[in-house]
Amino acid sequence: MIKMIALDLDNTLLNSNKEISKRNEVILKQLHEQGIRVVLCTGRPINAIWPYIEQLGLTKPDDYTITFNGGLVINNTSREHLFELGMKKADLKPLFEYVNNEKIPLNVLDFERVYELNDYPGSIYRTVLKNIEFNNLAMHDLPETIYSKAVMAIEPAELSPIIAKLPADLKAHYHAVQSQPMIMEFLPKNLNKAVGLKALLDHFNEDFSNLMAFGDADNDLEMIEAAVQGIVMENGLPNVKAAATAITDTNDNDGVAKYCERYFATLL
């Protein structure tokens, strides 16, 4: 029995204008009111997606969000951390050495802010990520704290050749995923959205047999594979679609709502 719906944002729940359509909003609110947990799953911090949380009414005491691609499970109202998994500064050393050699812009995030490294300017992350503090500093000045991820945010035409030639040992050191055409993320090795979702399901004494997940990209793959209902958008990547239980319409054609309307017809 489905008790939780996990939703990726970009190119899944959000249309090309970065909006939740009225049809998607209405159906998810109805399901939420019927007691089904609606959980947004994103690489961003909660402040950056707060307007979407408010739009869907996900502000009850037991509403949670999966942020930092599974690295942080946070209560929407209390902001209590149910689960977190990150990296020490030393864990980022192989990536720092690589971007230093290749002169690639890099951003590093803890669970509260973005450190925009000024060693090699050119990151476009400020234009992508809103409602979060940005600190500009040099790589060697990064504080000793716990980091959620590191991000290359560059125009797609520049990022694609970088991704194509990433060394195998670097990819082996991190869970490296491209979350958007202009964003490459480097996460702790064994971290993905399914890890955060398992922590949340455990909290409610549930498991993946109670989960429906919607996604489109590589950073959604593990939760699509784990969920009893793993739904991928028609606009999703081929390898992610291959792991799906079902394919729904595109993010610009209310694919989430269309699938939910059919699947939960007796509830609505």
Per-residue pLDDT of the chain (268 residues; tens, 9 = 90+): 999 999 999 999 999 999 999 999 999 999 999 999 999 999 999 999 999 999 999 999 999 999 999 999 999 999 999 999 999 999 999 999 999 999 999 999 999 999 999 999 999 999 988 888 999 999 999 999 999 999 999 999 999 999 999 999 998 999 998 988 999 999 999 999 999 999 999 999 999 999 999 999 999 999 999 999 999 999 999 999 999 999 999 999 999 999 999 999 998 7
- d(C-alpha 171, C-alpha 189), whole Å: 9
Q: How far is CA 112 from the centre of its chain?
A: 16
**CATH code of the domain made up of 89-187:** 3.30.1240.10
pLDDT at site 179: 86
**CATH code of the domain made up of 4-84+191-263:** 3.40.50.1000
**Structure tokens that stand for 114 in this block:** 């973005």
pLDDT at site 97: 96
pLDDT at site 161: 96
**In a 10 Å sphere around its CB, with 0-12 CB exposed, 13-18 middle and 19+ buried, how is residue 11 labelled?**
buried
pLDDT at site 122: 93
Domain ranges of the chain: 4-84+191-263, 89-187
